[in-house]
Amino acid sequence: MVGAIASVQFGASLAATLFERLGPGGTTSLRLASAAIVLLVVWRPRVRGRGRDELLLAIVFGLDLAAMNLCFYEAVARIPLGIAVAVEFVGPLAVAVMGSRRRLDALWVALAVIGILALTRGGAHALNGTGVLLAALAGGLWGCYILLNARLGRAFEGSTGLALALGVAALVALPVGVASAGVRLLEPESLALGSAVGILSSAIPYSFELEALRRIAAPVFGVLMSLEPAMAALAGFVVLGQTLGVRALAGIALVIAASVGASRAAAEAPLAL
Query: What b/e string do you get for 201-216 counting C-beta neighbours within 10 Å, with b at 16 or more?
Result: bbbbbbbbbbebbeeb
Helix axes 227-240, 246-266, angle to 10 degrees: 140
Residue 133: closest CA among 200, 75, 187: 75
pLDDT, residue 245, reads: 74
pLDDT, residue 270, reads: 43
Q: How far is residue 145's CA from residue 62's CA, in Å, rounded to a whole number?
A: 10
pLDDT, residue 127, reads: 67
- Cα distances (angstroms) measured from residue 261 to each of 116, 179, 222: 16, 45, 13
pLDDT single digits (tens) 126-140: 568 899 899 989 999
CA 4 to chain centre: 9
pLDDT, residue 32, reads: 94
CA 18, 24, 26, 31 dihedral sign is positive
CA 2 to chain centre: 13
Q: How far is residue 68's CA from residue 141's CA, in Å, rounded to a whole number?
A: 5
DSSP per-residue letters across 208-242:
HHHHHHTTS-HHHHHHHTTHHHHHHHHHHHHHH--
- Cα distances (angstroms) measured from residue 263 to each of 89, 185, 216, 243: 18, 41, 10, 28
pLDDT, residue 100, reads: 63
pLDDT, residue 55, reads: 94
pTM for this prediction: 0.82
pLDDT, residue 265, reads: 57
DSSP conformational letter for 268: T
H-only helix segments in the chain: 2-16, 19-43, 52-76, 81-88, 90-99, 103-120, 129-155, 160-181, 188-198, 204-213, 218-224, 227-240, 246-266
pLDDT, residue 269, reads: 47
Q: How far is residue 253's CA from residue 76's CA, in Å, rounded to a whole number?
A: 23
Collect the ranges in the chain with pLDDT lower than 70: 96, 99-101, 119-127, 218-219, 222, 242, 244, 260, 262-273
